[in-house]
């Protein structure tokens, strides 16, 4: 009775046999050379493959920056060797799911993830709080195996394999597409942090590129939205099932942004980014969950645990120095903010303070520089909500798994 209550949709199809394999992606040296690779979202992107519900879909995907790395060449650099932010994120797809139509729910179960041999992490202005923690720009390379990741750039740290796809999505329908374009442009016009459509390195170029037929309409993959997308939830691993809305005929499933490991928050702007092969199966639900507020997912509770036998944690509250205006709310131009030293219910500021405390701890306890500590936090530290009711000081806690430190 309990199992039925916890996993009502999973039990509907978990006993169905897989019908076969559909393999897609991985050809060509770059996303632009791969007919099954896209880095934008639009309702008119042509389908790259078809699959029946229950069939295994094997997707051969590229890292978030579409960059080939040799760990014997260098361990770190000031920035990524691949120029152009427009390439983010290469996705495999879209895949037409036979029998699926508008209004259905697509259940995507992750069966396997095979990580590539090399990964990377960067700290840059794109991160959550590099200015607050005092981080510099840096790009490091990891050696990966089935069990853990190591890098010469942060000696003494071994990160366990926690592979998952950052992006799991269906294509937006015309109605949702129009809504997203309008609200994000209005946010951009107000000075908010948002990435509106651009044509630089856009794929498919025939639709989304500079000369494309829908060049001003193709969505960047940076934020998650109602159709899924770049959710960056580390719990969506092997054994989990993601529920996505079907907004066009065939749904248009696409997956990418593969991470070897990530802390909740991905605070430096990246996880351990990697190439990977992922195997998924799908089922179509005619009467699935209400996804109007965003996708759902489920799986065994073991996926929620931290990969360590012990942890150390810091806390943060929405407190600041008088005169400071947090950069994330500067665009609101509130005359009240600068004079206050306490912002009511500001989870963003609380999370930043918990992160700064954790970076300070890693630096003082383990001797790493601030950028190394920031990157460790991005790939291993979980930022979790502690409480939302104790106004004005909502709380965030940062959890550091201690087993990642070897020989220390």
DSSP string, 91-115: EEEEEEETT--TT-EEEEEEEEEEE
Closest C-alpha among 312, 294, 235, 232 to residue 267: 232
Encoding tokens for residue 337?
Answer: 């903010």
Burial class of residue 375 in the structure, from the number of CB atoms within 10 Å of its CB (0-12 exposed, 13-18 middle, 19+ buried) = buried
* Mean pLDDT of the region 333-339: 95
The radius of gyration computed from the CA coordinates of the chain, to the nearest angstrom, equals 21
**From CA 408, how far away is CA 404, in angstroms rounded?**
10
Please, what is the Cα angle at 379 between 377 and 382, to 5 degrees? 60
Confidence band (pLDDT; 50, 70, 90) for 19? Answer: low
**pLDDT, tens digit (0-9, with 9 covering 90-100), for 49-95:** 999 999 999 999 999 999 988 888 878 998 888 888 999 999 999 99
CB 90 within 8 A of CB 61: yes
Name the β-bridge partners of 142: 119
**From CA 302, how far away is CA 237, in angstroms rounded?**
11
In degrees and rounded to multiples of 5, residue 258 shows phi and psi of -75, 130
Three-state secondary structure string covering 346-401: CHHHHHHHHHHHHHHHHHHHHCCCHHHHHHHHHHHCEEEEEECCCCCCCEEEEEEE
Residue 5 reports pLDDT greater than 90: no
- For a pLDDT cut of 90, what percent of the chain falls above it? 90
Residue 172 reports pLDDT greater than 90: yes
Closest C-alpha among 104, 383, 343 to residue 232: 383
**pLDDT, tens digit (0-9, with 9 covering 90-100), for 255-292:** 999 999 999 999 999 999 999 999 999 999 999 999 99
Strands of 87-201, DSSP E: 91-97, 105-123, 138-144, 148-150, 159-160, 164-169
Closest C-alpha among 365, 270, 268 to residue 314: 365
State the distance between the two ends of the chain, measured CA to CA, in whole angstroms. 47
pLDDT of residue 358: 98
**What's the Cα-to-Cα distance from 246 to each of 50, 101, 217, 387, rounded to whole Å?**
15, 6, 20, 34
CB 206 within 8 A of CB 296: no
Give the DSSP letter string of 18-44.
Answer: P--EEEE---SSSGGG-TTEESSB-TT
pLDDT of residue 16: 46
Class of domain 311-404: alpha beta
Confidence band (pLDDT; 50, 70, 90) for 3? Answer: very low
Strands of 155-300, DSSP E: 159-160, 164-169, 224-225, 228-230, 241-245, 251-259, 273-285, 296-298
**pLDDT, tens digit (0-9, with 9 covering 90-100), for 104-159:** 999 999 999 999 999 999 999 889 999 999 999 999 999 999 999 999 999 999 99
Q: For the whole model, what pTM was predicted?
A: 0.94
**pLDDT, tens digit (0-9, with 9 covering 90-100), for 202-247:** 999 999 999 999 999 999 999 999 999 999 999 999 999 999 999 9
Domain topology for 2-304: Jelly Rolls (2.60.120)
Burial class of residue 309 in the structure, from the number of CB atoms within 10 Å of its CB (0-12 exposed, 13-18 middle, 19+ buried) = exposed
Closest C-alpha among 127, 48, 41, 43 to residue 89: 41
CB 343 within 8 A of CB 350: no
**pLDDT, tens digit (0-9, with 9 covering 90-100), for 352-394:** 999 999 999 999 999 999 999 999 999 999 999 999 999 999 9
CB 160 within 8 A of CB 311: no
Query: Where do the domains of the chain lie?
Result: 2-304, 311-404
**From CA 398, how far away is CA 382, in angstroms rounded?**
5
b/e string for 192-205 if b means 16 or more Cβ within 10 A? eebeebbbebbbbe
Name the β-bridge partners of 148: 160
Mean of the per-residue pLDDT values for the chain?
94
């Amino acid at each position: 009775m309990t199992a039925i209550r916890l996993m009502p949709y999973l039990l509907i199809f978990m006993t169905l046999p897989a019908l076969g394999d559909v393999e897609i992606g991985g050809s060509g040296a770059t996303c632009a050379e791969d007919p099954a690779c896209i880095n934008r979202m639009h309702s008119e992107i042509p389908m790259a493959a078809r699959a029946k519900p229950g069939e295994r879909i094997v997707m051969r995907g590229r890292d978030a920056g579409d960059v080939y790395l040799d760990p014997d060449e260098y361990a770190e650099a000031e920035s990524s060797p691949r120029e152009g932010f427009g390439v983010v994120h290469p996705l495999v797809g879209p895949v037409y799911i036979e029998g699926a139509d508008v209004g259905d729910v697509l259940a995507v179960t992750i069966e396997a993830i095979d990580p590539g041999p090399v990964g990377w992490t960067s700290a840059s202005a794109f991160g959550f709080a590099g200015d607050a923690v005092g981080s510099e720009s840096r790009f490091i390379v990891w050696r990966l195996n089935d069990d853990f990741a190591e890098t010469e750039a942060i000696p003494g740290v071994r990160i366990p394999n926690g592979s998952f796809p950052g992006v799991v999505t269906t294509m937006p329908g015309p109605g949702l597409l129009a809504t997203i374009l309008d609200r994000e442009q209005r946010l951009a016009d107000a000075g908010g942090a948002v990435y509106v459509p651009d044509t630089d390195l856009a794929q498919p170029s025939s639709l989304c590129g500079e000369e494309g037929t829908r060049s001003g309409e193709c969505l960047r993959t940076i934020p998650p939205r109602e159709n899924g997308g770049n959710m960056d939830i580390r719990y969506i691993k092997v054994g989990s099932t993601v529920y996505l809305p079907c907004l066009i005929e065939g749904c248009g499933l696409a997956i990418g942004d593969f991470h070897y490991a990530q802390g909740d928050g991905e605070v430096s702007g990246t996880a351990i980014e990697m190439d990977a092969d992922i195997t998924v199966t799908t089922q179509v639900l005619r009467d699935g969950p209400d996804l109007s507020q965003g996708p759902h997912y489920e799986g065994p509770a073991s996926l929620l645990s931290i990969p360590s036998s012990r942890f150390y944690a810091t806390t943060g509250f929405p407190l600041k120095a008088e005169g400071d205006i947090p950069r994330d709310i500067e665009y609101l131009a509130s005359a009240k903010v600068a004079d206050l030293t306490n912002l009511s219910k500001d989870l963003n500021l609380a999370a930043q303070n918990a992160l700064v405390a954790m970076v300070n701890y890693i630096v003082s306890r383990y001797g790493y520089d601030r950028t190394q500590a920031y990157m460790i936090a991005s790939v291993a530290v979980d930022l979790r909500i502690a409480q939302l009711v104790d106004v004005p000081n909502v709380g965030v806690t940062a959890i550091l798994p201690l087993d990642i430190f070897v020989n220390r």
